[in-house]
Structure 1
Amino acid sequence: MSISETKKLPELGEIVIVTVKEVTGHGAYVTLDEYDNLTAFLHISEIATGWIRNIERYVKAKQKTVLKVIRVNPIRSEVDLSLKQVTGEEKKSKVMEVKKDEKGANFMDVIKTNLGYDQNGIREIEEKISQKYDFIYDAFEAVAIKGTEVLSSLDLRPEVIEAIELESKKIQIPHIEVRAVLDITVRKGDGIDIIKNILGSVDGSKNNSKIDITYIGAPKYRITVTSENFKIAEKALNQAIEKIKTNIEKNSGTFKFSREESKKTHTNI
């Protein structure tokens, strides 16, 4: 979504962010944040099921909330809304969408200032990004995770790509960390060196995952895999464990492992 885009009227069934303007005995007047603060109405019958004693228990003046469009009159520019028809998932998704728009707008404001672009120049960048991404913020997040090569098809100037990369470093990317404890022995004169070489062959960054191996105390080692989601991390851990096991057993060693609890972390890429 282009952050410079302003639409005239919402569509029937659309989920919108509003600011409550005035609460009355029959409902609430609100302004549509994404539609140039167009005034719309939330009737008391669409606030909650059952009898409502106090409307302000559900909506208050100056409050921002998520509502659903249930009627649009394009001739008179009238919009009616519902609170009770909004599901928890719809609310969560809309709030996330708005946050993305705000963060994307903030990033573009910084780029506009740093590069000395006018609004037309910024709009041109947004249009190119929108060819590939639904939200401007998504481009920055993609760069934070995978690098500037994700922008190679967008025909952006080098200084713009550099500015996007700089701003993307501010993004905290959630990562999943999965771990296991390895119990390894190789009863040979150079057994320690064999173990070090085998563990070193899987230690490092591979396939969007980072693998760290630390020494706990003979004969135990901890392997930690960090990745952007559990599926990728789990796959990398299983592949690493299988490779270590195979090579240890080739050297007449013994191998056992036990899993540890996974956890979610945040990383500035």
Structure 2
Amino acid sequence: MKYSGWPNTGELVVGKIDEIEDFGVFVDLEEYQDKRGLIHISEVASGWIKNVRDHVREGQIVVCKVLDVDESHEQIDLSLKDVNDHQRSDKIQDWKNEQKADNWMELAFGEEIGDEEYISIANELLGAHGSLYDGFKQAAIHGEEALEETDLTDEERAVIVETARENVSVPYVNVTGYVDLENASPSGVDGIRKALEAAGGNGDIPEEVELDVTYVGAPEYRIKVRAPNYKTAESHLESSAERAIAAIEAEGGSGAYHRERHTDDE
């Protein structure tokens, strides 16, 4: 999606070098509709420049800092030398992410989606998450919950979540804990089984979370949780252990939660 407005002074923008002159470089802005900026020769690189073409070439993708914007004269002054390697790398990655999100919008709503509808949906994602990419990323992780603060229709939310979960690669973390379950009451093994079912959530675990409970060695059971972030993972790990302990105590047994696995000599 290209913005119809103007960039702000101090903003980093992505552009493609269109024309090179002795006095500077003309750049087509990739993120803005029909916007072109000028990098004066003094802003191409630090130090004295003999030949601008020693530093840039036509068709090159560059990251520039906006020095000044004069809308009345349709002039945008840019600097190439004021952008460091870290800023350049981050900006290019953000730009590539937004291109991906633009493709996901077409996948979700079809290539024939009208500009007005596209902008309406995009603005909802931008308002809620700051960018199209982050909107899809959060939808992939948290489902329709990530879109609750938007005015999108139920159908639009469902389509975004479906598209996001089919196309967005999200980072996941894994955490592990252990619970000891003992039951000398008449319910015996059946009581242990109920406690393990409780630990597993009885089918009531969010789609973005994977929870697995396995036997280690009497009376120890391992709980593994895979989730989009540590806060979520730790929360589900502790909740799983608490459910197991509550269930085994209700059966007349006892339980204890710990993060490290017991060894034979303990």
Task: Tell me: CA distance 1:222–1:58, structure 2 relative to 1, closer, same or farther (3 Å).
Answer: farther
SS in 2 for 1:16: strand
More strand by share: 1
Larger RCO of the pair (alpha carbons < 8 Å, separation 6+)? 1
Following superposition, the deviation at residue 13 of structure 1 comes to 0.5
SS in 2 for 1:65: strand
Distance (whole Å) between structure 1 residues aligned to residue 242 and residue 54 of structure 2: 57
Report the RMSD for the aligned CA atoms in angstroms.
4.0
SS in 2 for 1:173: coil
2:180 maps to 184
Following superposition, the deviation at residue 222 of structure 1 comes to 2.5
CA contact (8 A) 2:183 2:191 kept: no
Give matches, 1:99-138, under 5 Å. Answer: 99-113=96-110, 117-130=113-126, 132-138=128-134
TM-score normalised according to structure 2 size: 0.70
- List per-residue Cα deviations over 1:73-132 (Å, max 9, x = no partner): 334333222234335564455334423432332233234438x65444434444555554
2:71 maps to 74
- List per-residue Cα deviations over 1:179-234 (Å, max 9, x = no partner): 23x37363737654444333332223557744211224445432111222112222
SS in 2 for 1:200: helix
Structure 2: runs of 5 or more not aligned: 262-266
Task: Tell me: CA distance 1:163–1:236, structure 2 relative to 1, closer, same or farther (3 Å).
Answer: closer
Q: Please tell me the residue identity of whatever aligns with 2:69.
A: V
1:42 maps to 39
SS in 1 for 2:184: coil
Task: Tell me: CA distance 1:231–1:52, structure 2 relative to 1, closer, same or farther (3 Å).
Answer: farther
1:237 maps to 237
2:222 maps to 222
Q: Please tell me the residue identity of whatever aligns with 1:77.
A: E
Between the aligned residues of both structures, percent identity stands at 30
CA contact (8 A) 1:20 1:64 kept: yes
Following superposition, the deviation at residue 165 of structure 1 comes to 3.4
Match of 1:148 among 138, 144, 165: 144
Task: Tell me: CA distance 1:149–1:222, structure 2 relative to 1, closer, same or farther (3 Å).
Answer: closer
Give matches, 1:180-219, under 5 Å. Answer: 180=177, 182=178, 184=180, 186=182, 188=184, 192-204=189-201, 206=205, 209-219=209-219
SS in 1 for 2:59: coil
1:262 maps to none
Distance (whole Å) between structure 1 residues aligned to residue 161 and residue 175 of structure 2: 28
CA contact (8 A) 2:194 2:247 kept: no
Task: Tell me: CA distance 1:148–1:45, structure 2 relative to 1, closer, same or farther (3 Å).
Answer: same
TM-score normalised according to structure 1 size: 0.70
